[in-house]
Structure 1
Amino acid sequence: MAKVKEDEVKDFDYVPRTIEEHNNAIRMYMERYNTNSVQIAGTVREKREGSAKPKIDKKTNEHILLDGVPQFWEPFLSVTVAFEGGEIDINLDRKMYEDAEVSSRYLFEGTKGLNYGRVQDKFHSMTKL
């Protein structure tokens, strides 16, 4: 094996590694490479509940009735969160929406995902700070 001069090597680790250290480094790299996580911390400024939209039959274009009662989609529940540098509207599920308090600070955690054909943040947990 040819010997490499030190001045020819830049940002390369020549320290021999054990198999365990090598496997750990590969595992950490793959976790970073395949990560899909979103985190944002901020103060809840406002809570909004959208109006419930009627469920429409695609064939007849009429309101869907179940035992004579019109059916509606769940309303969108969102909060406006202010963070350093701006504000963002976050859609939440019913439980998280009810637990959120205006003027309180939270850490929202989630992933990126498709929502009606658009890539958006989907938050699945919130922690009060």
Structure 2
Amino acid sequence: MDHWLSIEVGNGAFPASAWKRAHGDDLIEAALTNGARHWMWHDHRQGVVLEIEFSSEEQRDRFRHLPAVLAPLDAVPDPENALFVYPGRGGGSGSRVPHRPRPRPSSGAGALPEPKEELTMGLAQAEPPPVRF
């Protein structure tokens, strides 16, 4: 059974690609020396994703808590908003078609007011009496 770990790093104070160049080799070396079977990088406009496959959950979890992994994770461009580490495959396993930005739900999402019905009483119209000569 495959046990994947995904590390997604988004752009922030500097591009995630610069973080990949600075720390990518160290992460791969730590993964390979701790039992990784496969690994792959995915570059996106929003950042980078590293997917690593291990033979067991124990290897994956041990790798995740190594100092050689924690130090690069502390150095990502935006650690509070653009760092995601989770078991399983991540950003590169989806569709090959780029996602188009969608309009924000707040733009025009408010309900339009209901049209008001005009109430009529159904009274007869008053007409002047016919004029006779």
Instruction: Give me the TM-score of the superposition, normalised by structure 2.
Output: 0.21
Q: Who wins on radius of gyration, i.e. which is larger?
A: 2
Instruction: Give me the TM-score of the superposition, normalised by structure 1.
Output: 0.21
More helix by share: 2
Q: Which has the higher contact order (CA 8 A, sep 6+)?
A: 2
More strand by share: 1
